[in-house]
Amino acid sequence: MRLHILGICGTFMGGIASLAKAAGHEVSGSDAHVYPPMSDQLREQDIELSEGYLPEHLEPEPDCVVVGNVMSRGNAAVEAMLDKGLRYTSGPQWLYENILQDRWVLAVAGTHGKTTTTSMLAWILEYAGLNPGFLVGGVPENFGCSARLGSGPFFVVEADEYDTAFFDKRSKFVHYHPRTLILNNLEFDHADIFEDLAAIQTQFHQLLRIVPGSGLVIHPQHDTNITDVLEQGCWTPTESLGTGGDWQARLIRADGSHYEVLLSGESLGEVSWDMIGTHNVHNGVAAIAAARHAGVPVTTSTAALSEFKGVKRRMQLRGKVAGVSVYDDFAHHPTAITTTLAGLRNRVGEQRIIAVLEPRSNTMRMGVHRDALARSLQQADLVRVFDAGDLDWDLEHELQSLGSRVAVYRDMEKLLSSLIREARPGDQLLIMSNGGFGGLHDKMMDGLEARTNNE
């Protein structure tokens, strides 16, 4: 079958393209911005890419158009597709009908930690010799790719609550039909498509409705938003995480780099890894619980996680130059910013942390979380924030409680120059954005090296 994918360079749709190619389909795609690293990965697989959304990209007519959720009515390619009466589907629907339908699906849902937990779970199954398929919204370092067809019965998928397509406003995850489901946490997010928390909870309950009675739902013990969803009705056995829950972790090191795993009070093993933060300990225990449901012994899972290398752009150490450690992290929600900074603080102690933030998510631009932003940055010694001029609220006003620690920049080059000038040996430079941040990470390291050479 010949497929054309609209919006192919997004992480999810690029993963769909890779899976389709591996499954034997002829694949092409188009995107408004064809750029690395996804464009390079796709071209290496001989997937034809076209820049822009031109009607002629749909010639000769494909057997099916797979439509990404970035697409909307009025787009030239979408209008041509509809006018010609071409067969079309969404990415999640295509994934279920062609890849997931006959497999044991292990899905990871929640506001935070989906990518990391999905990567951990896929790695555990791989370490156990089960050769799972997976689709992750990032690049797990243990695999070096965001998607793989696999040959075993298991498929691990990051279950995103964002909407499916312009013609299907349900959350993506309702298409996946998981047998094993992790509900990591739940907060209000994606204010561009959800009116309130209750609207998101409705979608999460739709997901619960399709998990079979022979399956398993893994959830935090003390997340009231998840508890509210479960109380609407759950027809599947559950296992809980956290104090008083079925699964618990006992920290051996305060930064979360070494911990003990307990089930019903019994110690089943220890994990010693390069990850930090209690949020990642939670993610790891959730992945262990899900793998156990798929038949993997806990001792195997703890051994696997001790070799887990992390995910690109999730607290990734990009380099150390002139004694300054430069980290790249995807955090863009106040809760994620808080937990990321807390984990780093526990690891580095009194060393100076410089937090650099680009508030660019749709929810952040709308100002939904502006009241919590300053509190989320309290663990940093210095805070530098880039204002691209597209916020619907006063960034400097909301951060004024941070006093002299904070500075807001509207010019990227001035931000970069300032950071190069003030960074000193021993500093931990944490750059947080859900976008590319103008290549700030590499520019920062280049600038530090040049400063060192000129001293």
**Sheet hosting strand 382-386, strand order edge to edge:** 316-321, 324-329, 428-432, 353-357, 382-386, 406-409
Q: Name the 3-class secondary structure at 152.
A: coil
Pairing of strands 428-432, 406-409: unpaired
Domain ranges of the chain: 2-91, 103-305, 316-454
Cβ neighbours of residue 286 closer than 8 Å, sequence gap 6 or more: 108, 117, 182, 184, 218, 241, 247
Which two three-digit tokens encode residue 142?
């243990």
- Is the pLDDT at 272 greater than 70? The verdict is yes
Q: Identify the band that residue 438 occupies on the pLDDT scale cut at 50, 70 and 90.
A: confident
Q: How far apart are CA 140 and CA 154, in angstroms?
A: 17
Question: Can you give the pLDDT at residue 216?
Answer: 98
- Is the pLDDT at 191 greater than 70? The verdict is no
Cis peptide before 37 (omega within 30 of 0): yes
pLDDT, one tens digit per residue, over 114-160 is: 999 999 999 999 999 999 999 998 889 899 889 999 998 999 999 99
Say which residue, 393 or 264, is predicted with more confidence.
264
pLDDT, one tens digit per residue, over 60-81 is: 999 999 999 999 999 999 999 9
Are 384 and 412 spatial neighbours (Cβ–Cβ below 8 Å)?
A: no
Q: In angstroms, what is the C-alpha Rg of the chain?
A: 22
Q: How far apart are CA 329 and CA 351, in angstroms?
A: 19
Specify the CATH class of 103-305 in words: alpha beta
Cis peptide before 60 (omega within 30 of 0): yes
- Is the pLDDT at 428 greater than 70? The verdict is yes
Mean pLDDT, all residues of the chain? 91
Which two three-digit tokens encode residue 368?
């939904």
Instruction: Name residue 81's amino acid.
Output: M
Question: Can you give the pLDDT at residue 189?
Answer: 75
Q: Name the 3-class secondary structure at 211.
A: coil
**Sheet hosting strand 26-31, strand order edge to edge:** 48-51, 26-31, 2-6, 64-67, 88-90
- Is the pLDDT at 318 greater than 70? The verdict is yes
Which two three-digit tokens encode residue 256?
């979360």
- Is the pLDDT at 390 greater than 80? The verdict is no
In CATH terms, the superfamily for domain 316-454 is Mur ligase, C-terminal domain (3.90.190.20)
Q: Which fold has domain 2-91?
A: Rossmann fold (3.40.50)
pLDDT, one tens digit per residue, over 391-412 is: 777 877 888 898 889 888 888 8
Question: Can you give the pLDDT at residue 36?
Answer: 67
The count of residues in the chain is 455
Highest mean pLDDT among 167-181, 182-196, 272-286, 430-444: 167-181
* Dihedral of the alpha carbons of 225, 230, 232, 236, in degrees to the nearest 10: 160
Question: Can you give the pLDDT at residue 397?
Answer: 80
pLDDT, one tens digit per residue, over 208-245 is: 999 999 999 999 999 999 999 999 999 999 999 998 89
Closest C-alpha among 175, 182, 179 to residue 206 = 175
